[in-house]
Amino acid sequence: MPKRAENLAKTAPAERRRNLRFPFSASIEAVEDKSGTRIKGRTTDIGLGGCYVDTPSPFPEGSVVSITIIRNEESFQARAKVVYSLIGMGMGLAFLAAHPDQVKLFQRWILELNGHRPSVSGATEPEVSKANSTVESAKNEQQYVLSELIIALMRKGVLDKADGNAMLRKLNR
């Protein structure tokens, strides 16, 4: 194994996610419980279990924070724990708790990211053929894998953050 790849493998955190992640760019504000310190950043991916925050000054691993994620005109508030932190890059957050109304909003966001359209005034979507559903599922999986690859390359310093974020934006059009 080449020396650089060997060093990256030693420093890269083990994958601990239990839930599917989706590329997701939104403003986020986090306030650390003990000190009241406030930081701002951007999410790069999100899933049912947590999110990744791109920020140059992340909180240390183990910190408990209150977060607000702002997407369009909506905001999601929850408590979270820092499970991964890398100065100059960002931090991984695991969600701990949220108010039931906030959970419903978050679940709607996840459904939208997964390709489901919200129903309007109780109307249901027409049935989608099984073939179209399979094609869409494969497309979503490919998009997810490519996003994860881009994010991993950015975290390891192989891909510049500006280039990586530009690629993520193109991928999510």
**pLDDT tens figures, 29-48:** 999 999 999 999 999 999 88
Dist CA 81 CA 26 (whole Å): 19
Residue 41 has a pLDDT of: 95
Would you state the pLDDT for residue 118? Answer: 58
Average pLDDT over residues 39-66: 94
124-153 average pLDDT score: 59
Cα distance between residue 71 and residue 55, in whole Å: 17
Q: Which fold has domain 13-130?
A: Thrombin, subunit H (2.40.10)
| Weakest mean pLDDT among 10-14, 92-96, 143-147 | 10-14
Q: Which tokens sit at 29?
A: 């504000």
CA separation for the pair 33, 118 (Å, rounded): 34
pLDDT at 2 over 70: no
pLDDT of residue 28: 96
Q: For residues 97 and 114, give the distance between their C-alpha atoms in angstroms, rounded to a whole number.
A: 22
In this structure, of 56-65, 127-136, 141-150, 156-165, the range with the lowest mean pLDDT score is: 127-136
- Per-domain boundaries in the chain: 13-130
Q: Which residues pair with 26 in a beta bridge?
A: 43
pLDDT tens string 117-127:
655 544 444 43
| Residue 52, pLDDT score | 95
Q: Is the pLDDT of residue 21 over 50?
A: yes
